[in-house]
Structures are given as C-alpha cells and as structure tokens.
Chains A and B, each alone.
Chain A
C-alpha cells in the first residue's frame, strides 16, 4: 500500500477546487420551479374581477350582463339549474316592482329576462322584489319581499321555474316599526336559515342603521327571528387589533349568504353584503363558522369602484366563483358579474 504524497494531495485539492469553481460559475441561474407558490390556499374572498367590455364576445353590454329596457334591475340571486345558471332578480318601474328570471349556459351571456312573479296578493301592495331562491331536487323555493308600507317576506314554489304557487300570507311578517328586506336563504340540516336586512325603529324616533338579521325555520314557512348577526360599526380593527371606524359604518344590508365547506372540511358561512346609506355603496364580506357570529374581512370592501355596487350573490360555476351584483353603467341599473378563479 502507498501513502498519499503531498503532490497528490495538492493535485486532489486543485481538482476539487476547479470542480467547485466550474459548477459555481456555470450554474448561477434562477433554477426551476416557482418556489412553492402554486395552488396556494385561499378563502375565496378576493380577488373578484368585474368583467369589462370586450371580455365576452357575446355580451355587448358589459360590465352589465343583464339589463332591461325600462326597468331598474336589482337584488340578483342565482342557482345552478339544468347545467346552467338561473337567476332571479328584482325589476322596478315607477311604483311597481316584479321578479324576473333569466338563464345562461355559461354564467355570463344571459337571455332576455322573463316574468317570474308579479304582485297579486293584497299584502304585496303591488310590490314584489328582492328574490331569494333555493333549489331542492326539482322544487324551487323562492322567498321574496312584498309590500310597501309594511314589507314582509313571502314564499312561492315551483317545479319548472315558470309557474309559481305562492303562500297566501307572508311567511315572515315583522312587527310594526321593524322593516325587513333582501332575504337570502341557506339550506341547513333539518331546516333553513334566513338572512335579511332589518331596520328596527321601535326604540327610537331617529333613523336607525340597517343590520343583518337571521331567522330560522324547519320548513321554510314558519320563521322565528333568531338574532342580529352583523351590524354597523362593530368589530372593525386595524392591523394592530385596535378598534377603528368600520368601512360600512352607516349600515349593512342586502346579504347574499351561502354555506360552503372549507378545504379542511369545516362548514362555513359566506356573507356578501352591501354597505348601506351611502351613494357609493360597495360590497363587503363577512364569514362565520356557525352562521351567528360573523367576522368582517379586514380589507373590505372586496368589490368597489366609482359606481355603486350592491346586493351580491355568489355562485360556484365552471371552476370559478361568479359574483352577480347590481350596479349602474351609463345611467342604467343592471346586473354585473365579477369572477374569481381561486
């Protein structure tokens, strides 16, 4: 056996150094991959990007996807139906409001709105609007607001989306001094949860800020007021956790609720709502695990702009989340859509 000579040792070291230098000099690149930044988890609160003119070849009216020649459209609510999207909405002309239905196969290009519900009953006082719809098997359950002096919430059902049979009396009639509007219904195990706008002026002569309330029902017909789940100027904090003035401090209204399952398998409530009492109303988000204690998204609003945006309804369709909301474009009130691909 031989022991290594000093020359051989040095030769080895020189070779090693050369090998190191070669690799270092030749491989100073950015490397492969994106560093683990793909498919990051997201609650799906943002970003919702409103569609703009030119984003869809068949829709010339963007950012509006549903418009009416004479009526102001508001309060959209959409469900998946027949491999497409079926949307109901409120259409108001002069002193009269009705509910229209409109269909799309891709969630963006809609046909012409068709009448779904006209005011007929005495308690509706010539005014029906703010529809909320839930589909159970082949049955469509449609809650709506009727009445002007004393708005209440009624129920109509249909199997084809054309012929609706309505309950003769309101299913939720608030006491005098309480104003209700904009229902949104979530199907739960063993019943339903109704989220709606409420203004309670019984305790004061002064105008009160709108809140979002919850009622519960085992069958969708007999509702019991449960509690207020979101109110203005409550629970807004800065990054340090200090209480600050809420973005929606003038009032909260027009809830669009939906029940989802988180990626970890936990039930969660999404509540899209509108800042009330401001001309430039915007759309914010609050979340909850029990549907009773809601927490606002810290960077609300999630959809805003120069024009007012209100009454959001969010639907998962075709791998995206579509948010339908009412807004104004060129002095026309219609329904716009914003899309999130997360």
Chain B
C-alpha cells in the first residue's frame, strides 16, 4: 500500500467522526476559520508561485497537482482539493530558489526567492456539507515585497523581476456538494501601492541653498484581491480529474511628484524679484509592478498501485500582460518662461502571447512499513516564453524553460501517542533550465544592442506536515 493510500484511510476515518460524532465542534471550527479569513483580508500580498510552485510534493511532481491537490498547496493549485481530507492538517516548510540568469554569459544577480511556506487545512461540516477551509502562505524571509519601476528600455528578466518578490496569502474554502465531486474557491490578497511627494516653497535662482522647500509624502496602500476556483472529481482512489481557474491580476505602483512654488531672483535680499508666481511641475509614474495572467488548468491523476501518474495542461493568457514599465507623465508650467521638458518615450505594448504549459509527474512507493513510508517523485514541465523577440525599444528578457524535478516523501505513522496520525516530510528539488535566446535589434544604433540570455534555477522545497 502506498503512502497515498494510508493517507486516504486516515482521511476516511476522520470524515465519519466529524460528520456523525461531533458536528458542533467542526461547525464551530469552520466558522472560526472563516472569521479568521475575513480578518486577514486586508493584510495580504501576491505570489511568486506561478514561477516555482508551492509545497514540496507538488513541486516534486513537476507542478502536475491539479488533479491531486491534497495538501495546503491546493489553495494555489486547485482549491477544490481542500475538501478531500478529514483531518486538521498543519504544514510548515521552506522554499528556496536560486536563479542564475545571465546576460551575455554574465550573471545579472537576479534576487533569490526564499521564504517560509505553510498553511492549515481545516475540515468541517456546515449545513450538512463537508468542507475544507484553508489558509496558505508563502512569506519571503528577507523582505515583505519589492517594487521596482524601470524604464522600458532597461533590460530585465521580466518574469523574475517583481513577480517573485511577493508574499502569498490565500484563503480558500471547498465543499463536497455531491459524493466524489469537490468544488472550491479562494481569494488571494494583494496590495496596490500609490503615493505622492508634494514639494512646496520657493526656489532662489541666485542662491540655490536659500530655497526653503517643504516636502510631504503621502502613501496609500489599497487592498485588492483576485479569485480562484476549482473542481475536482475523484470517483475512486485510483483516478481523479481536476480543473482550476485563477483570475488575472496586476499590481500598480502609482507615484507622483508635485512641485509648486515661486521662482525668485534674490539679487537684493531685501527686495527679491519674483519671476514666476505659481511654478508647477508634476511627474506621475504608473507602473505595473506585478502581473499574473488568467489561468485555466486541467489536470488528472491515475494510480496504478505501483505508480502514480499525474499530468496538467495549463492555459496561461499572457496576452493581457500590461507594459511593465514606468508610464511617465510630465507637466511643467513656468508661466512666461519658454521652457519645456522632453516627453519620455511612448510605452510600447509588450505583445506577449498566450501559453499552454504541460506538466507531468510520477510518484513511486519505495517502502511501506508499519511506521515508515517512503515514496520517490519526479516531474517535468515545459514553459515556453510568452515574450516576443525584443527587437525594438523594449528589453523584456525571457526564454523557454524546461523544469525537471525530483523529490521524496516520508511518512511516519503511529510514531507516538501524541501523533497517532502520519507525520509527513516532503523534500523536492527543481531544476529549471532557461534555454539560450538571442535578441537581435532592428536598429543597429540601439542603445542596448544585440544580446544573449540564458539561465538556470536551483530550487529546494521542504515541508513538514502533521495531521491531527
């Protein structure tokens, strides 16, 4: 019997307890969870999970997890899977990704992505329906978030710039309306950031140091959220089919600088000459700092007993990708002075393409004893690049990616009286190869010129889970 089977046994046993034995306790727990989800609604951020995945088992299976979705990472892969279990499930782990991405063979020093991951799945029953509620988290351990606003000409690995430097907080709920069919949905919370620097005073053209200016900064963080939904049909322990939908979202960084005041000629300190009464300069920058495309993923799994096979096929609608560049608006009013500021380059549509991403994973039971179960995993995915040739003024560097994963899962069962149910330890390693791509510029006097990109990602994920 494989590890999955033993988990199913435990889940089945607990489901009956919850439904027939102490429904009041489960309902109370469910309501408490839902209340907690509401409280969390204003504190969330976005996710780097599209890039590397979540959890350890899912990553070990190459991300082919839509048809399985039986741990906390279901909140990302397929929230419907959260209602499969009957145990309270707590999981905590660490995710580490070291991207080594290169321009012309030289490391661009793209930031590491590393942080704690984990979540809780709470089963229960409300109005006669079995449900599973969860909170899923990924929290960077070196920053809360990172926002960069870059001009469109500046080369950057566009999918690994701001996108991976975000916290993920997701609250999901799933139910089982009819036997074997699970339906779930979730919300991932994000924050839009905006702000304005306001400078007022007067500028002395003769003596710049004698230009008293007052500055104020106003920052506005607004909560936003995007939904995800999932369906999972599991008629038996052998096979399942899942469908997941994740909505599009993007975060905008809206920054403004407003300078207002007088411009003076302070030739005679007692009688300064006012050149301009109401000088005015406004610079506004709007930048799409993070974007995740609308996604529809179909997945399935089949368990042969000696081999579990899972596969996903995801449609990623990258064609809606907004320009990830500062859209600058400059407005200068110097009254009678004939002076104008040069307007920045027009922002170009990045022209990204929709993608189909196939994923496949296998899991093999290696050992199943009374107290110890061990499975091995491997997976593969191919992610074509949505970015077109960067032959013009943009430099959104990206290339096709091959992901190869492997992992192990350890289950310790009935180890102590304290933990009579399995303690789960999953470890995975994911290597992603970004194949070399040559960007050839149409303009031979382009400031950036031709260049090559390639790269490697080394990802490790560890997850410890307990069932209660």
Residue contact B88 to A12, C-beta cutoff 8 Å: yes
- Closest residue of chain B to A26 (Cβ to Cβ) is B141
Give 5 new A-B contacts, CB below 8 A, not counting A34-B109, A35-B110, A46-B447: A3-B25, A13-B120, A16-B135, A27-B142, A295-B445
Binds A, one of B14-22, B299-307, B369-377: B14-22
Residue contact A285 to B104, C-beta cutoff 8 Å: no
Residue contact B448 to A41, C-beta cutoff 8 Å: yes
Binds A, one of B154-162, B277-285, B309-317: B154-162
What sequence of 0s and 1s flags, for each residue 62-96 of chain B, a beta carbon within 8 Å of any chain A beta carbon?
Answer: 00000000000000000000000001101010000
A31 within 8 Å of B by Cβ?
yes
Given A13-B120, A288-B444, are A33 and B111 also a contact pair (CB < 8 Å)?
yes
- Closest residue of chain B to A260 (Cβ to Cβ) is B449
For the complex, give the distance between the alpha carbons of A216 and B160 in Å: 47
Binds A, one of B228-236, B338-346, B357-365, B399-407: B338-346
Given A8-B468, A35-B146, are A268 and B103 also a contact pair (CB < 8 Å)?
no
B178 within 8 Å of A by Cβ?
no
Q: Tell me the minimal C-beta distance from A114 to chain B in angstroms.
A: 37
For the complex, give the distance between the alpha carbons of A297 and B420 in Å: 72
- Measured CB to CB, the residues of B under 8 A from A are 10, 13-14, 17-18, 21-22, 25-26, 28-29, 32-33, 36, 87-88, 90, 92, 101-104, 106-112, 116, 118-120, 122, 135, 137, 139-144, 146, 148, 154-157, 160-161, 165, 167, 342-346, 395, 420-421, 438-440, 443-452, 468
Q: Tell me the minimal C-beta distance from A43 to chain B in angstroms.
A: 3
Query: Which of A34-48 touch B at CB < 8 Å?
Result: 34-46
Number of A-B residue pairs, CB cutoff 8 Å, is 189
**Residues from chain A with Cβ under 8 Å of B343 in the complex:** 239
Residue contact B165 to A9, C-beta cutoff 8 Å: no
Residue contact A45 to B32, C-beta cutoff 8 Å: no
Given A1-B13, A1-B421, A12-B90, are A297 and B445 also a contact pair (CB < 8 Å)?
yes
A298 within 8 Å of B by Cβ?
yes
Q: Count residues on chain A whose CB falls below 8 Å from chain B CBs.
A: 57
- Measured CB to CB, the residues of A under 8 A from B are 1-6, 8-10, 12-13, 16-17, 19-20, 23-24, 27-46, 239-240, 262-266, 268-269, 285-289, 294-299
Given A36-B101, A42-B448, A285-B445, are A13 and B109 also a contact pair (CB < 8 Å)?
no
**Residues from chain B with Cβ under 8 Å of A13 in the complex:** 32-33, 36, 120, 135
Residue contact B146 to A31, C-beta cutoff 8 Å: yes
**Residues from chain B with Cβ under 8 Å of A33 in the complex:** 109-112
- Closest residue of chain A to B39 (Cβ to Cβ) is A17
Residue contact A24 to B139, C-beta cutoff 8 Å: yes
Residue contact A3 to B21, C-beta cutoff 8 Å: yes
**Residues from chain B with Cβ under 8 Å of A44 in the complex:** 449
- Closest residue of chain B to A284 (Cβ to Cβ) is B445
**Residues from chain B with Cβ under 8 Å of A24 in the complex:** 139, 144, 167
**Residues from chain B with Cβ under 8 Å of A1 in the complex:** 10, 13-14, 17, 420-421
Residue contact A31 to B103, C-beta cutoff 8 Å: no
Residue contact B143 to A27, C-beta cutoff 8 Å: yes
- Closest residue of chain A to B160 (Cβ to Cβ) is A36
Residue contact B445 to A39, C-beta cutoff 8 Å: no
Contact of A240 among B107, B135, B346 (CB under 8 A): B346
For the complex, give the distance between the alpha carbons of A3 and B89 in Å: 11
Q: Tell me the minimal C-beta distance from A238 to chain B in angstroms.
A: 9
**Residues from chain A with Cβ under 8 Å of B156 in the complex:** 36-37
**Residues from chain B with Cβ under 8 Å of A6 in the complex:** 25, 28-29, 32
For the complex, give the distance between the alpha carbons of A264 and B391 in Å: 12
For the complex, give the distance between the alpha carbons of A124 and B55 in Å: 81
Residue contact A32 to B447, C-beta cutoff 8 Å: no
**Residues from chain B with Cβ under 8 Å of A28 in the complex:** 143-144
Contact of B468 among A4, A29, A299 (CB under 8 A): A4
In the complex, 14 of the A-B residue pairs with CB atoms within 8 angstroms, ordered by the A residue number, are A3-B22, A5-B25, A9-B122, A13-B33, A16-B118, A16-B119, A19-B118, A31-B111, A38-B108, A41-B451, A42-B447, A42-B448, A268-B449, A289-B444
Residue contact B440 to A264, C-beta cutoff 8 Å: yes
Q: Tell me the minimal C-beta distance from B65 to chain A in angstroms.
A: 22
**Residues from chain A with Cβ under 8 Å of B32 in the complex:** 6, 9-10, 13
**Residues from chain A with Cβ under 8 Å of B17 in the complex:** 1, 3
Contact of B449 among A12, A43, A240, A294 (CB under 8 A): A43
Residue contact A23 to B141, C-beta cutoff 8 Å: yes
**Residues from chain A with Cβ under 8 Å of B116 in the complex:** 19, 23
Q: Tell me the minimal C-beta distance from B181 to chain A in angstroms.
A: 24
**Residues from chain A with Cβ under 8 Å of B395 in the complex:** 41
Q: Tell me the minimal C-beta distance from B183 to chain A in angstroms.
A: 23
Residue contact B142 to A264, C-beta cutoff 8 Å: no
For the complex, give the distance between the alpha carbons of A12 and B118 in Å: 12
For the complex, give the distance between the alpha carbons of A262 and B444 in Å: 10
Residue contact A265 to B438, C-beta cutoff 8 Å: yes
For the complex, give the distance between the alpha carbons of A268 and B449 in Å: 10
For the complex, give the distance between the alpha carbons of A113 and B350 in Å: 54
**Residues from chain B with Cβ under 8 Å of A34 in the complex:** 109, 111
Given A9-B122, A42-B448, are A4 and B346 also a contact pair (CB < 8 Å)?
no
**Residues from chain A with Cβ under 8 Å of B444 in the complex:** 268-269, 287-289, 294-295
For the complex, give the distance between the alpha carbons of A37 and B88 in Å: 44
Closest 7 A/B residue pairs (Cβ): A43-B449, A287-B444, A41-B451, A262-B450, A264-B450, A31-B143, A39-B106
For the complex, give the distance between the alpha carbons of A254 and B14 in Å: 86
Contact of A35 among B141, B148, B344, B446 (CB under 8 A): B148
Q: Tell me the minimal C-beta distance from A288 to chain B in angstroms.
A: 5
Q: Tell me the minimal C-beta distance from A335 to chain B in angstroms.
A: 25
**Residues from chain A with Cβ under 8 Å of B106 in the complex:** 38-39
